Structure formats: structure tokens, C-alpha cells
Structure 1
Amino acid sequence: MPEKKIKIDVLTLDSVQCAACGYMMESIAAMPPDVQEVIEYKEWSIKGNDGIGKFMELKGKVLPTICIEGDLVFESIIPQYEELIDELAKRASSPEMKERLLSLREVGFNFDNIKENLQKAGAGQF
């Protein structure tokens, strides 16, 4: 059975027109391939009804915010790579996934596939 992916919701105004929102999305999209395999993420712009609904459901207070597994983790603070890895590891679905994530702490952001990763997450499309 495949491991359950870590769910990330990024609450934004709009990642195209709001620079901070764009950086927040990019911080997730720039995670290296080994991390991309274990996460699932989506942008929720409050310019749309779905985004407003998700903002209310997660009890968002400020934009942009990164929520990991339903927890408001980075509110208006664009995380450093290591901070993101640590927060993902805390919410890993298995001890093996946690170890795998922590072993990637020194890898750093990877901007090679950022455009494709942003498209997969629906960045700027809603």
C-alpha cells in the first residue's frame, strides 16, 4: 500500500498578482523531487468561492498561509527550506517517511521543475 501523502493547502490572495503569495507557492513547488513524491499541495485563492470556503474551513487569519495537514503552520511567513522539511516530517504518515524527509534537510530548494510543479498545484489558475 502506498504511503499517504502529506496534504498542503496554500491560502493566497492570488499567487500571480501578490508577490508574497507567489513566493509562498514557490517555496512548496521548489521542494526537491524526493519531497515532491510525498506531498500533495494546492493553492486556494480567496478570489474564488472555493478559496473563501477553504480559508474559512481552515480558520485562516492572514494571507498568505501554508497549512500542512489542516494546521496553519506558516502564517504570512515564507518558510526557509529546513523549516518546511521539519514541519513536513512532524506530520509524516510513517516513521520511514519522517526519516526520509529529515534525511533531505541538507538538499535545499530545487528550482528546475518549479514551473511544472506550480501548474500541478493550480497556481494562479483559480
Structure 2
Amino acid sequence: MTEKIHIDVLTLDSVQCAACGYMMESIAALPPQIQTLIEYREWSVKTAEGVARFTALRGKVLPTICIEGDLVFQSIIPQYEELIDALAARAPGEAVRDRLLSLRDAGFDFDRIKENLEKAGAGRNTRTGK
């Protein structure tokens, strides 16, 4: 089985912060062929776990997309091609890199915003349980 590319999205709260929601959706709106190659999670600084992850990754600003531990898109929502190139540069092997680059022209699927955010788990990791 192919190793997946690990993505951390550092946010304030993807439900209440528009920029954070857009950042999460930029990952969730990737085509299904790319979704099989990645694994991602939102880390909200509203939780102790999120603050710990933000600190461990040495985050500076919100929102930020980290790919394989690298702070890649800090307060900048990436265009599709930029995101693909960043993923390909950090792919675990040539086969995954080549697959990503072959999908470079596919584009985001923004037609299903609600489903994308649900798939991304927007808000699931932003609550403190109170």
C-alpha cells in the first residue's frame, strides 16, 4: 500500500473563521484521485491539542497548511496547481509524485462546498466539549 502524504491544517476554527474554512476546503475539494494519496487533519488553536500541534510545528500565523511537517502555505490559500506542486515535492516516492503531477490539470471541486467541509471534518476538532 502506498504511503500517504500527511497534511496538518492549523486553524483558529474552520467553522467561524472564513479564511480557516477556505484553507480546509482547499484540501477537501481536491479530486478523489488525490484524496486517496493524502491524509489530513485540522488542528484548532481553540483546543489544547491544537495548541500543542501548532507549537510542535512551529506555526507562526493562522491558517497554515503544513505538508509532511513543513509550513508551506502560511495565511495564503493556495491555488490548485500550487497545492499539487507542494504535495508532489513532498511525495513519499516517485510513483506518488508522478501520479499527483498527472492530475495537475484536474482542478478543485468547489461545486459541493457543504459536502467538502463535512468531508474535511470542519469543526470536529474545534470544540472543547463544553
- TM-score normalized with structure 1 length: 0.93
Question: What's the counterpart of residue 44 of structure 1?
Answer: 43
Q: Which amino acid aligns with 1:101?
A: L
Distance 1:31 1:114 in 2: 12
- Shift in Å, 1:116: 4.5
- Shift in Å, 1:125: 1.4
Mapped contact 1:42–1:123 kept (Cα < 8 A): no
Distance 1:93 1:115 in 2: 31
Distance 1:119 1:34 in 2: 18
Identity %: 70
Distance 2:118 2:100 in 1: 23
Distance 1:116 1:106 in 2: 22
1:1-126 pair list within 5 angstroms: 2-111=1-110, 115-126=114-125
Distance 2:37 2:76 in 1: 23
Distance 2:83 2:93 in 1: 17
Unmatched segments (≥5 aa) in structure 2: 126-130
| CA RMSD after TM alignment | 1.3
Mapped contact 1:90–1:98 kept (Cα < 8 A): yes
Residue 27 of structure 1 aligns to a residue in which SS?
Answer: helix
Mapped contact 1:35–1:101 kept (Cα < 8 A): yes
- TM-score normalized with structure 2 length: 0.91
